[in-house]
Amino acid sequence: MRHTIHIRPATVSDVPLIHHLAGATWEPTYSSILSPEQIAYMFGEIYSEAALVRQLQEGQTFLLFYVEEEPVGFAAYSVKDAAAAVYKLNKIYLLPQMQGKGYGKTLLEAVEKEVKSLGAALLDLNVNRHNNAKQFYERCGYREHLQEDIPIGPYWMNDYVMRKAL
């Protein structure tokens, strides 16, 4: 059975929905690689409603992903280096029960199409060095570009920066 999908840009009025979706995806995504304290701290820093409003105001574009009219995920992107035509995929999450169905690839391709239409030549993303999602990104054509360690409060994000030419 083919499901109806819909992707739309989010607005500030969607912040409570994004916060809810993030709450349902973050702990299952990171519980095997980050401590509960780090998950709670980072979630508060990145996904509080005030933080999400700030991200929208600072230029991140959020896309909401629906299956059969139910919101099941989101992605966010922004300009990383305008002069070099590099954009960054800041976030992409699907509810755990929606993973493994091809929806992540559909949402990622929607971001790629959108940023390419805005002039992007490259799309970067960060993935934790212990996150199995790295293999998903590789299957979608992303390659390891570099490694970086990012301080977030008292914690560190140990990431690969992956890149794809569009």
Q: What does the pLDDT look like over 59-83, one tens digit per residue? A: 999 999 999 999 999 999 999 999 9
Entry pTM: 0.94
Q: At what angle do helices 36-47 and 15-30 cross, to 10 degrees?
A: 160
State which residues form the domain around 122: 5-165
Torsion 142-148-150-154 (CA) sign: positive
Going by C-beta distance under 8 Å and a sequence separation of 6 or more, which residues neighbour residue 165?
Answer: 121, 122
Report pLDDT digits (tens) over 137-147.
999 999 999 99
**CATH number of the domain residue 24 falls in:** 3.40.630.30
Structural domains in the chain (count): 1
* Angstrom distance (rounded) from CA 124 to CA 59: 16
In angstroms, what CA-CA distances link 163 with 7, 17, 44, 143? 23, 29, 27, 5
